[in-house]
Amino acid sequence: MDSSVSRLVSILGLFFYAYYEIMIASELPPFALAYHGVADVPLRRDPVGLFVRPRDLRRQIDRLRSWGYRFVRFGELVELVVRDQAGGAVSLTFDDGLVDNLEELVPILAAEEISATVFVVAGWLGKPYPWAPWTRILNASEVRALHDEGVEIGSHTLHHVDLTTLSHEGAREELEASRLRLEELIAATVGSVAYPFGAVNDDTIDACRDAGFAGGCRTSGNGGWDDPLNLPRQDMDNRCSMLGFRLKRDDRYERLMRLAPARATRRLSRRIRAVTG
Sequence ranges of the domains in the chain? 25-240
Crossing angle between the packed helical segments 140-148 and 168-186, to the nearest 10 degrees: 70
Quick one: pLDDT at residue 269?
64
Ordered per-residue pLDDT tens for the chain, 277 residues: 455 544 543 444 444 444 344 444 458 999 999 999 999 999 999 999 999 999 999 999 999 999 999 999 999 999 999 999 999 999 999 999 999 999 999 999 999 999 999 999 999 999 999 999 999 999 999 999 999 999 999 999 999 999 999 999 999 999 999 999 999 999 999 999 999 999 999 999 999 999 999 999 999 999 999 999 999 999 999 999 999 999 999 999 988 988 887 667 776 666 666 566 5
Burial class of residue 47, CB neighbours in 10 A (0-12, 13-18, 19+): exposed
**Sign for the pseudo-dihedral over CA of 134, 101, 25, 68:** negative
Quick one: pLDDT at residue 25?
46
d(CA 199, CA 204): 9
**103 DSSP 8-state letter:** I
Give yes or no for a contact between 147 and 188, defined as CB atoms under 8 angstroms apart: yes
d(CA 133, CA 146): 21
Q: SS3 for 152?
A: strand
HSE-up of 77 (CA within 13 Å, CB side)?
37
In CATH, the architecture of 25-240 is: Alpha-Beta Barrel (3.20)
Quick one: pLDDT at residue 27?
81
Count helices and strands (H / E) in the chain: 11, 12
How far apart are the two ends of the chain, measured CA to CA in Å? 51
Quick one: pLDDT at residue 264?
76
Give yes or no for a contact between 64 and 116, defined as CB atoms under 8 angstroms apart: no
25 contacts: CB under 8 Å, gap ≥ 6: 67, 68, 88
Q: Cα separations (Å) of 28 from 69, 87, 100, 110, 177?
A: 7, 6, 30, 25, 36
d(CA 82, CA 75): 11
**Sign for the pseudo-dihedral over CA of 264, 268, 271, 274:** negative
pTM exceeds 0.95, yes or no? no
**32 DSSP 8-state letter:** E
